[in-house]
Amino acid sequence: MTNGTSSGPSAPLSASLTEGPDAPYIHAEDLFKIYKSDELEVVALRGLDLRVARGEMMAIVGASGSGKSTLLNILAGLDQPSAGRITVGHRNLLTVTAEDLVEYRRREVGFVWQQTGRNLIPYLTAEENVTVPMALDGRSAKQARDRARQLLEQVGLIEERRRRPTELSGGQQQRVAIAVALANNPPLLLADEPTGELDSATADEVFRVMTDLNRDTGVTVVIVTHDREITRRVDRVVAMRDGRTSTEIVRRAAFARGQQFAADEYAVVDRSGRLQIPREYLDELDIGRRARVTMADGRVEVRPEDGADGDRKESR
């Protein structure tokens, strides 16, 4: 007979964060990021929820200042969250040690910035740029060179391997940047507006490289983007508003690749039952500080409260 210490019938809440077979690869719950400077406090993420499956390719959209880069920097291990929960694979990014974070940045994630100049070292060739992360990870020069060539082949730039960044177009530079990001074979590729500085044809080439790599290697891809072409062509688009995920657009799988996709839009409901109502709806219905919420015929209705006008004025 055992006594006492065996786990009780009710599992702790945090159990949902440990990676079981069905657990999301990226799992953020009620995530907060507060930037503090002298007198100013900016709440960049305020209770964000996000789940991303292993091998998924998804996009994050949202107005300027909605917290997209903040989220991506946290996922990249470049910035630390303030509160909440966030795991990537088995790692908890709130409690990760500095040592483990170095390992995480080196092996688990690759990152592509919007500014082409920020991704590559200007005085190194394309091939040398791709070998850098591998040298840092202790691989032999030969191993690094072979892998760099394989990657440059994959992004369609093997011929250009001896060129320096200034001798490459913006789109070619971004493709090299993808190769650099994937040098150590990380399971996660993050890109913050990777096509923001490119024309649409060039942007398409870069996007295609990411799609191919996602399909061929199973790398999970999270792209922050304003590019409509990209958002139309990924499986899922998550919209951020005021530091939270507000809606998700999921493509219906029944439609074949390359065709016009049908899309369903969902509002994200968090653990506490909160959801964001689009600002346009609130304005249209003149909903101010409070709304009347009722359930009828299997649906939840949100309506302006009686005398809502007075309330609005009260809350400025």
Ligand X SMILES: Nc1ncnc2c1ncn2[C@@H]1O[C@H](COP(=O)(O)OP(=O)(O)OP(=O)(O)O)[C@@H](O)[C@H]1O
CB-nearer residue toward Mg ion: 69 or 231: 69
Helix (H, G, I), strand (E, B), or coil: what is residue 116?
helix
Helix (H, G, I), strand (E, B), or coil: what is residue 19?
coil
Q: Tell the smallest beta-carbon distance from residue 265 to ligand X (Å).
A: 20
Q: Is 67 near ligand X (CB under 6 A)?
A: yes
Q: Is 225 near Mg ion (CB under 5 A)?
A: no
Q: Is 233 near ligand X (CB under 6 A)?
A: no
Q: Which does 35 bind (CB under 5 to 8 A by kind): ligand X, Mg ion, none?
A: ligand X
CB-nearer residue toward Mg ion: 69 or 174: 69
Could you tell me how many helices (H) and strands (E) the chain has, helices first?
10, 13
Q: Which does 231 bind (CB under 5 to 8 A by kind): ligand X, Mg ion, none?
A: none
Helix (H, G, I), strand (E, B), or coil: what is residue 59?
strand
Alpha-carbon distance 19 to 51, whole Å? 12
Q: Is 64 near ligand X (CB under 6 A)?
A: yes
User: Which one of the spans 57-65, 116-124, 130-138, 307-315 is the region binding ligand X (CB under 6 A)?
Assistant: 57-65
Q: Tell the smallest beta-carbon distance from residue 44 to ligand X (Å).
A: 3
Instruction: Report helix angle 141-154 to 170-181, nearest 10.
Output: 130
Specify whether the CB–CB gap between 58 and 235 falls below 8 A. Answer: yes
Alpha-carbon distance 2 to 4, whole Å? 7
Specify whether the CB–CB gap between 114 and 173 falls below 8 A. Answer: no
Helix (H, G, I), strand (E, B), or coil: what is residue 123?
coil
Alpha-carbon distance 207 to 204, whole Å? 5
Q: Is 73 near Mg ion (CB under 5 A)?
A: no
Q: Is 125 near Mg ion (CB under 5 A)?
A: no
CB-nearer residue toward ligand X: 44 or 179: 44
Q: In this chain, which of 28, 44, 58, 69 binds Mg ion, going by CB under 5 A?
A: 69
> Given the rule CB under 6 A, which residues bind ligand X?
35, 37, 42, 44, 62, 64-70
> Given the rule CB under 5 A, which residues bind Mg ion?
69
